[in-house]
Amino acid sequence: MSNLQVDRDGGLMTVTFSRPEKKNALTQAMYQAAHEAIEAGRADPAVRVIVLTGAGEAFTAGNDVIDFMSKLPKKAEDSPTVRFMRSVFECEKPLIAAVNGVAVGVGVTMLLHCDLVYVAAGSQLKMPFTKLALCPELVSSYLLPRMIGMPRAMEMLLLGDAISAERAVEWGLANEVLAAEAVLPRALERARQIAALPPGSVRDTKRLMRAPWRDLGDQVFWDELTTLSARLGSPEVSEAVTAFFQKREPDFSRFA
């Protein structure tokens, strides 16, 4: 799979975003490949745990803007991006994230659906949706305030403020901060511990812990997506994208 590496080790499947020269910015092809990998892992009884990580010094810098804007589908639900997000949202098997560097946009929102998260020291996590004239995704508008509180969530989602690996742990978004070279080994260590447990018990435990918000989360998922789809055709997004390519700060002063 181009720019995506999938490795199997016993009951573990490791999915690696592998485009290090672009800080693992995700293309539609990468989203599709990651979706297919996760779905294969969900369907395979031998796979007990799925680990997500990035190659090089980044987890993922989020969407590749050029690829994303040039391949907008007619229907949002037909997008490989949405297929990937649904795979993460619906995965009944444990998901573990080894965040080996910067995480932006979907690189953070997917962490809200991971069951264990390990972050490299020096990493920054940020969701600059409003700076791109967009809106939250992957149920982050619902989950983040409930995980870290509304004021902190507003700093991240409304202002797009980045947080450090240490603050991610302090706020409950991650389990541990480790040296970069220790992040993936720690995630795999925990994955092996889970893989040795009774698989049915593990799945039931995850289901029960997520059941209270699962149905509402599904509603929020599609509400966010509908809003995002509408925003993609807005003059605000046009200004944000134009400014991005012109390497200048966007000017939103003329918008009401």
16 sits in which H/E element: strand 12-17
Label residue 225 by pLDDT band (50, 70, 90).
Answer: very high
Per-residue model confidence as pLDDT tens digits over 185-219: 999 999 999 999 999 999 999 999 999 999 999 99
Half-sphere exposure of 202 (CA within 13 A, CB side): 18
pLDDT band at 2 (very low <50, low <70, confident <90, very high): confident
Cα distance between residue 145 and residue 130, in whole Å? 16
Within 8 A by CB and 6+ apart from 247, the residues are none
Check whether 76 has a pLDDT greater than 90. no
pLDDT of residue 66: 87
Task: Give the DSSP letter of residue 8.
Answer: E
Q: Shortest CA distance to 137 belongs to which of 203, 226, 239?
A: 226
Averaged over 157-175, what is the pLDDT? 98
Q: How would residue 63 be classed by pLDDT, with cut points 50, 70 and 90?
A: very high
Q: Which CATH number does 1-180+198-256 carry?
A: 3.90.226.10
The answer to whether residue 71 scores a pLDDT higher than 80 is: no
Q: Would you state the pLDDT for residue 8?
A: 97
**% of residues, the chain, pLDDT over 70:** 98
Give the pLDDT band of residue 68 (cuts 50, 70, 90): confident
User: Mean of the per-residue pLDDT values for the chain?
Assistant: 96
Q: What is the pLDDT of residue 238?
A: 95
Handedness of CA 197, 166, 108, 144 (dihedral sign): positive
Q: Each residue of 78-109: pLDDT tens digit?
A: 799 999 999 999 999 999 999 999 999 999 99
pLDDT higher than threshold 60 for residue 245? yes
pLDDT grade, residue 38 (50/70/90)?
Answer: very high
At residue 168, the pLDDT reads 98
pLDDT digits (tens, 9 = 90+) for 114-123: 999 999 999 9
pLDDT of residue 75: 72
| Residues 15-19, mean pLDDT to the nearest whole number | 98
Residue 65: the pLDDT is 87
Predicted confidence at residue 134, as pLDDT, reads 96
